[in-house]
């Protein structure tokens, strides 16, 4: 299959992190946006991206591009495309979209016209028609239609690749996998120094850290991608890429990974998820207050994601915890890089330490900051 434009989507504000990942994989980044990155590559490249990218959501492979002023233009141009080379007559597909066109009041109508074009083309050329519906577990077609510009992609991921498949026990308010990976990448941690994660919750950050330290691609957790349902999918190439990824995965992390939480149920959930990810024996779990978490050596990364106090009356109690985080950093984490991820700037002030860097993220719809602290014993002058 010839090379085409590839748009790799991400959560808001993660585009620059994703771009760094793409470059590290050897791809030339052509454009960075708030919610994704553009590049050029083959369908095999799209498969490889699904296996390796940690901070991405979906990998969209362009099929056709044209101009359309109205739904009939969309139908006619879409029907001219050779869908019989993409979809199986006995298969299943869904249509998802991003539509901003004055003739469309409801995206579902645009989706329907595209679906009609695909089905009518398939019936004319093959005598049969694939089934269609809302599921992401087979072929997924993505329609981008803004003003009169139409791009139709094959969504090679289907279900978002941020869902690795290991989170069997989400516990409460878990951090999204791709967000956790993006945060780790943004810290610059390369997996060779200790990673300590007090307040670990369901363990997502520690699990992502273990996979980074083992050079284990996150896509190895997935058993089904949309690209597997493309008519020209080459299973031999996929097996080759997958086997290569397995061979390049280390048998254990290069660094010590420690995860703690004061709640035994959180540690239970974290262990279950780590087991599903195949990294449970590589993470040291402990039930304890965050301030009693082991800090090995004199260099590494310590990362906390405390509660944000969005419910009424919580902030006063959380101020004490945030202040205690600052004390913990000063007393126990000398030589480390300290990171706090929070969606409450007022609480973050209670940490009482000067930040060396602040990075903007979103956790769902919550405006958050990743706060970085250089942790020295005594004064900076003495250090």
Expressed as residue numbers, the domain containing 204 is 177-216+228-374
- 243: phi then psi, degrees, rounded to nearest 5: -65, -40
pLDDT surpassing 80 at residue 337: yes
120 and 233: one domain? Answer: no
315 and 253: one domain? Answer: yes
124 and 199: one domain? Answer: no
In the three-class reduction of DSSP (H, G, I as helix; E, B as strand; rest coil), residue 214 is classed as coil
CB 319 within 8 Å of CB 347: yes
DSSP 365: T
Tokens 């035994």 sit on residue? 264
C-alpha–C-alpha distance, residues 229 and 88, integer Å: 8
Q: Which two structure tokens, joined as six digits, stand for 154?
A: 């094959």
**Percentage of residues of the chain with pLDDT beyond 90:** 92
DSSP 351: G
201 and 336: one domain? Answer: yes
What value does the mean pLDDT take over residues 216-221?
95
67 and 201: one domain? Answer: no
- Say if 361 falls within a structural domain: yes
Helices (H), 38-175: 43-52, 71-79, 107-126
The CATH number assigned to the domain holding 341 equals: 3.40.50.150
Confidence of residue 174 (pLDDT cuts 50, 70, 90): confident
Confidence of residue 379 (pLDDT cuts 50, 70, 90): very low
What value does the mean pLDDT take over residues 310-315?
70
- Say if 16 falls within a structural domain: yes
pLDDT tens column, 253-284? 999 999 999 999 999 999 999 999 999 999 99
pLDDT surpassing 70 at residue 311: no
Confidence of residue 139 (pLDDT cuts 50, 70, 90): very high
CB 8 within 8 Å of CB 18: yes
C-alpha–C-alpha distance, residues 50 and 329, integer Å: 37
Q: How far apart are the first and last CA of the chain?
A: 57
- Count: domains in the chain: 2
pLDDT tens column, 32-80? 998 999 999 999 999 999 999 999 999 999 999 999 999 999 999 999 9
Helices (H), the chain: 15-24, 43-52, 71-79, 107-126, 177-187, 204-213, 235-247, 264-277, 315-332, 345-348
pLDDT surpassing 60 at residue 382: no
- Say if 81 falls within a structural domain: yes
What value does the mean pLDDT take over residues 195-207?
97
pLDDT surpassing 70 at residue 349: yes
Sheet of 139-146, strand order: 31-33, 36-41, 4-9, 58-67, 149-155, 139-146, 92-100, 131-132
């Amino acid at each position: 299959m010839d090379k085409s434009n590839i748009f790799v989507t991400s959560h808001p504000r993660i585009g620059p992190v994703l771009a760094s990942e793409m470059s590290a994989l050897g791809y030339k980044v052509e454009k960075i946006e708030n919610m994704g990155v553009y590049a050029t590559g083959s369908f095999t490249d799209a498969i490889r991206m699904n296996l390796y990218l940690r901070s991405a959501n979906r990998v969209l492979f362009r099929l056709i591009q044209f101009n359309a002023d109205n739904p009939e233009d969309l139908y006619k141009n879409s029907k001219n495309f050779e869908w019989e080379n993409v979809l199986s007559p006995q298969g299943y597909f869904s249509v998802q979209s991003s539509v901003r066109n004055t003739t469309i009041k409801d995206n579902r109508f645009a989706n329907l016209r595209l679906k009609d074009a695909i089905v009518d083309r398939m019936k004319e050329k093959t005598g049969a028609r694939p089934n269609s519906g809302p599921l992401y577990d087979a072929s997924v077609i993505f329609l981008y239609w803004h003003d009169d510009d139409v791009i139709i992609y094959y969504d090679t991921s289907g279900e978002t690749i941020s869902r690795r498949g290991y989170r069997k026990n989400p516990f409460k308010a878990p951090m999204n996998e791709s967000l956790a990976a993006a945060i780790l990448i943004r810290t610059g941690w390369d997996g060779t120094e200790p990673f300590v994660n007090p307040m670990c919750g369901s363990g997502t950050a520690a699990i992502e850290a273990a996979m980074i330290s083992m050079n284990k691609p996150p896509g190895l957790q997935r058993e089904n991608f949309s690209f597997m349902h493309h008519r020209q999918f080459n299973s031999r190439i996929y097996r080759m890429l997958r086997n290569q990824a397995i061979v390049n995965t280390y048998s254990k992390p290069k660094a010590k990974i420690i995860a703690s939480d004061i709640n035994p149920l959180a540690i239970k959930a974290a262990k279950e998820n780590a087991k599903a990810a195949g990294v449970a024996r590589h993470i040291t779990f402990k039930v304890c207050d965050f301030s009693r978490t082991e800090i090995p050596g004199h260099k590494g990364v310590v990362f906390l994601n405390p509660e944000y106090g969005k419910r009424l009356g919580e902030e006063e109690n959380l101020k004490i915890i945030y202040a205690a985080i600052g004390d913990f950093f000063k007393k126990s984490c000398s030589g480390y890089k300290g990171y706090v991820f929070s969606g409450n700037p007022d609480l973050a002030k209670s940490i009482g330490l000067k930040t060396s860097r602040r990075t903007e993220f979103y956790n769902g719809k919550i405006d958050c900051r990743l706060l970085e602290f250089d942790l020295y014993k005594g004064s900076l002058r003495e250090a």
